[in-house]
């Protein structure tokens, strides 16, 4: 029993340590990007604490920008809830995808806890790891990235509009550069993944100009593209697994 507990502790510490390491650059990117989000929160009339609390609970750039815009426009609670739900609906798909990667014996609580803070970047680094999902790895990444996102918003609210607009716009580019760093390494190793990434880029661009889909919200377009491209990739390029072989 003592040997078993030692083994579990070693796995826990390794997963948490790896998550903290990989979450550090993401957290630094979040700190910079959420600073401009804090300025938007201040323009909407939120206090520093309210901006911090919003980022701590929502953890979604597009959803928060939409929410703060609606607050500034004095929208109703129902309108704010619906727009935030649509903007963040893609995270439901990410949660479903991660849940399929858990070991069958994993406790249900881990699926709920990880689902609380799924962002594009944290999903990317978690799903890219081989084998089953290690919840402690994701916890470690969140322990760095989550507070950085909330603190960055707090600092942005405090700073307000003191910084030049060009500097604020430059900080917003950091998130996209960080996301490219997540998808480029696996794309270089696998031609299929590289092709799917290019199809995603092309589909996202075309969706802004196609007759019916262009009238939908950004979040809804992302959901439609994700479902159709993922389904096509699964049918055309299924992942071969050795039956009976453990990960």
- Would the pLDDT of 40 be above 90? no
Please write the tens of the pLDDT for every residue from 57-93.
Answer: 888 877 888 788 888 878 788 778 877 887 787 888 8
Please write the tens of the pLDDT for every residue from 198-217.
Answer: 998 898 889 888 888 888 76
Domain boundaries, the chain: 10-175, 190-247
pTM: 0.66
Most confident region among 36-45, 102-111, 140-149, 156-165 by mean pLDDT: 140-149
Which DSSP string do the residues of the chain spell out, in sequence order? -HHHHHHHHHHHHHHHHHHHHHHHHHHHHHHHHHHHHHHHHHHTT--HHHHHHHHHHH--HHHHHHHHHHHHTT--HHHHHHHHHHHTTHHHHHHHHHHTTS-TTS-HHHHHHHHHT--HHHHHHHHTSSSS--HHHHHHHHHHHHHHHHHHHHHHHHHTT-S-HHHHHHHHHHHHHHHHHHHHHHHHH-HHHHHHHHHHHHHHHHTTTSTTGGGS-HHHHHHHHHHHHHHHHHHHSPPP--TT---
């Amino acid at each position: 029993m003592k040997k078993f507990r030692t083994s579990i502790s070693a796995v826990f510490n390794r997963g948490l340590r790896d998550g903290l390491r990989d979450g550090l650059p993401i957290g630094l990117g979040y700190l910079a990007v959420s600073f401009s989000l804090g300025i938007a929160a201040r323009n909407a009339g939120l206090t520093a604490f309210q901006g911090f609390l919003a980022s701590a609970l929502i953890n979604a750039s597009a959803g928060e920008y939409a929410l703060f815009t609606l607050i500034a426009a004095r929208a109703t609670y129902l309108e704010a809830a619906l727009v935030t739900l649509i903007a963040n609906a893609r995270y439901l798909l990410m949660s479903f995808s991660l849940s399929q990667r858990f070991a069958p014996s994993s406790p249900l609580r881990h699926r709920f806890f990880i689902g609380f803070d799924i962002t594009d970047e944290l999903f990317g680094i978690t799903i890219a790891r081989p084998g089953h999902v290690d919840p402690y790895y994701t916890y470690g990444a969140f322990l760095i990235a989550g507070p950085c996102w909330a603190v960055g918003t707090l600092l942005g609210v405090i700073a307000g509009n003191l910084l030049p607009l060009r500097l604020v716009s430059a900080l917003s580019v950091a998130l996209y550069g960080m996301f490219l760093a997540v998808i480029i390494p696996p794309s270089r190793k696998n031609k299929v993944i590289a092709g799917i990434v290019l199809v995603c880029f092309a589909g996202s661009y075309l969706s802004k100009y196609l007759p019916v889909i262009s009238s939908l919200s950004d979040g809804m377009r992302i959901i439609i593209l994700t479902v159709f491209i993922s389904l096509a990739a699964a049918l055309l390029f299924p992942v071969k697994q050795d039956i009976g072989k453990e990960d």
